[in-house]
Amino acid sequence: MPMPSPTLKSWYSPTKESKNEQKALVFDASLLQHELNIPAQFIWPDHEKPSADQPQTPPLVVPPIDLKGFLTGEPDAISNAIKLVDEACRKHGFFQVVNHGIDSKLINEAHKNISGFFGLPLLEKQRAQKKAGDVSGYASSFTNRFSSKLPWKETLSFRYSADQQSAYKVEDYFSSVMGEEFRQFGRICQEYCEAMSNLSLVIMELLGMSLGIGPSYLREFFEENDSIMRLNFYPPCQKPDQTLGTGPHCDPTSLTILHQDDVGGLEVYVDNQWRSILPNTEAFVVNIGDTFMALSNGIYKSCLHRAVVNNRTPRKSLAFFLSPKMDKVVRSPEALIKMDGARNFPDFTWSTFLEFTQKHYRSDMNTLEAFADWLKLRNK
């Protein structure tokens, strides 16, 4: 396999020395949250610092899309939802949904268990330690993976498969890596992922209608999805203006359904400025990701977003990253190519794109472009 181009902006390849240096750096939130001088690896460059271009981030106030009438098939509600989704996805790839039909008890249970998990001593969380190149596992600030611009967060990620034939179950993953006492937490996460997968298929129907290709094509494309669930935990930070919880990026995945707690920290880049998305625990935040942007031939935009931290309250967010089955070819349907007159992205599989983000490129705002260039070089 040819090597990726070293000219890629975010190409990362820590040197032997920096790898050794990193070994000494451990993100133990119970200690670091009180630290007045945060380690240099967490300090982001000036132009990316939270308040680089504006002293205060103005909130983006957009009414959420009410899914109730869409779910019950009311014609006016359907046309209204189509119009709002289409406008949002052409412009910035971000919208929120309410009356989505997901049980609030399930959401609350998930949040409770997540707080319990991240509240454990570091050594216990490390039982699920993510291994190099793996998607699943516990990661404290990626101190082993990256050497600079470290994010002020801990994450627990795992796979979810909607394929009925698949033997993989979230609860088995939890009990196998962390012990039998984590099976119940795993069950809640499995149930939560099932709910997210179903909701994402409803949203796919809506997106298919708004793109003018009908409700079935995209729903079927993602029916047997092989998705990623990530639990994000952002401890307080005494220097919140110096660092970021999650740096500016577009999700490489297809569609993200995010539930944030009542603390706030998510920001979206709209009209050349960062805007904060005020927390609303009744809503889900929905983002278009790079894979969907490619599938729509670029008609819908992948959403540029980031998460900031604060010096008072820990924050949680639950991100369900909808992704197609690993070897399904991502290729825009003919009808969308005709609309634009040109095919704007190469064919690829999610398996290759995922490998790119885990082994060759640190996801940022240019991942899709860098991936397309990398594919071209690789296929030469």
Ligand X SMILES: O=C(O)CCC(=O)C(=O)O
Residues that bind Fe ion (CB under 5 A): 251
Contact assessment for residue 211 and residue 298, using Cβ atoms and an 8 Å cutoff:
no
Structure tokens at 143: 């101190």
Q: Which does 362 bind (CB under 5 to 8 A by kind): ligand X, ligand LEWYHDQE, Fe ion, none?
A: ligand LEWYHDQE
Q: Which does 151 bind (CB under 5 to 8 A by kind): Fe ion, ligand LEWYHDQE, ligand X, none?
A: ligand LEWYHDQE
- State the amino acid at position 36 in one-letter form: L
**Pattern 237-266, ligand X, x by CB under 6 A:** ---------x----x------x-x----xx
Q: Is the CB of 81 or the CB of 156 nearer to ligand X?
A: 156
Considering only residues 235 to 274 of the shown chain, the ones binding ligand LEWYHDQE according to CB under 6 A are 246-247, 249, 251-253
Closest to 204 (Cα-Cα) out of 286, 282, 266, 281: 286
Minimum Å gap between C-beta 354 and ligand LEWYHDQE is: 6
Contact assessment for residue 363 and residue 151, using Cβ atoms and an 8 Å cutoff:
no
Contact assessment for residue 374 and residue 4, using Cβ atoms and an 8 Å cutoff:
yes
Q: Which does 264 bind (CB under 5 to 8 A by kind): ligand X, Fe ion, ligand LEWYHDQE, none?
A: none
Q: Which does 274 bind (CB under 5 to 8 A by kind): Fe ion, ligand X, ligand LEWYHDQE, none?
A: none
Minimum Å gap between C-beta 274 and ligand X is: 13
Residue 38 burial (CB count, 10 A): 17
Distances (CA, A) of 59 to 108, 258, 290, 367: 25, 18, 24, 26
> If you compute the radius of gyration of the chain from its CA atoms, what whole number of angstroms results?
20
DSSP state of 49: S
Considering only residues 335 to 354 of the shown chain, the ones binding ligand X according to CB under 6 A are none
Residues in CB range of 244: below 8 A, 6 or more apart: 44, 48, 49, 50, 149, 151, 152, 306, 307, 308, 309
Minimum Å gap between C-beta 319 and ligand X is: 4
Q: Report if residue 154 touches ligand X, rule: CB under 6 A.
A: no
Which residue of the set 127, 315, 343, 362 is catalytic?
Answer: 315
Q: Is the alpha carbon torsion for 77, 80, 83, 84 positive or negative? A: negative
Q: Report if residue 356 touches ligand LEWYHDQE, rule: CB under 6 A.
A: no
β-strands 266-270, 137-140 pairing: unpaired
What is the phi-psi region of residue 291: left when phi exceeds 0, alpha when psi lies from -120 to 50, beta otherwise?
Answer: alpha
Among 136, 200, 232, 297, binds ligand X (CB under 6 A): 232
Q: Is the CB of 210 or the CB of 363 nearer to ligand LEWYHDQE?
A: 363
Q: Report if residue 109 touches ligand LEWYHDQE, rule: CB under 6 A.
A: no
Cα(326)–Cα(143) distance, rounded to whole angstroms?
A: 28
β-sheet bridge partners, residue 226: 161
Considering only residues 266 to 325 of the shown chain, the ones binding ligand X according to CB under 6 A are 266, 305, 307, 317, 319
**Residue 90: active-site member:** no
Residues in CB range of 188: below 8 A, 6 or more apart: 106, 109, 110, 113
Minimum Å gap between C-beta 50 and ligand X is: 13
Minimum Å gap between C-beta 170 and ligand LEWYHDQE is: 15
Q: Is the CB of 242 or the CB of 367 nearer to Fe ion?
A: 367
Number of residues interacting with ligand LEWYHDQE: please give it, by CB under 6 A. 14
Contact positions vs ligand LEWYHDQE (CB under 6 A) = 151, 228, 230, 246-247, 249, 251-253, 321, 354, 357, 362-363
Catalytic residues: 315
Contact positions vs ligand X (CB under 6 A) = 230, 232, 246, 251, 258, 260, 265-266, 305, 307, 317, 319
